[in-house]
Amino acid sequence: MTEPVFIVCNPVTLSPRAIKASSVRECSRCYCSVWVSPSSVNIMANEHPEAEIVCIPCVSKMDETEIGEMEPLNAEQFAELREHRKERQ
Ligand SMILES: [Zn+2]
């Protein structure tokens, strides 16, 4: 069996300012609106079409065995965050 893949996203209500060019999607668990950054959209388009979008509050309620292993940020995600931090300064 393959491990489920989760894309963890910030709910729109918790973070009014998203990473540039983020799109709004729905959490697959609670259906709240979340920000999905372009790199995450890429991951779903190319590597993991089966990925499930979950918001941070839902992830924090999940069982550790369900979450499995966290993958480190990829280069594109790092670049987005760096850019985002720069804009906030
Ligand atoms: Zn949720």
Distance 15 CA to ligand 1 centre (A): 14
DSSP tag of 1: -
Q: Give residue-wise pLDDT tens across range 20-55.
A: 999 999 999 999 999 999 999 999 999 999 999 999
1 pLDDT more than 70: no
Give the predicted TM-score (pTM) of the model: 0.85
**CB neighbours of 23 closer than 8 A, spacing ≥ 6?**
35, 36, 38, 41
Q: How far, in Å, CA of 48 to CA of 12, rounded?
A: 23
Q: Is 85 helix (H, G, I), strand (E, B) or coil?
A: helix
Distance 27 CA to ligand 1 centre (A): 5
* DSSP, residue by residue, 11-47: BTTT-SSPSTT-EEEE-TTT--EEEE-HHHHHIIIII
Distance 88 CA to ligand 1 centre (A): 26
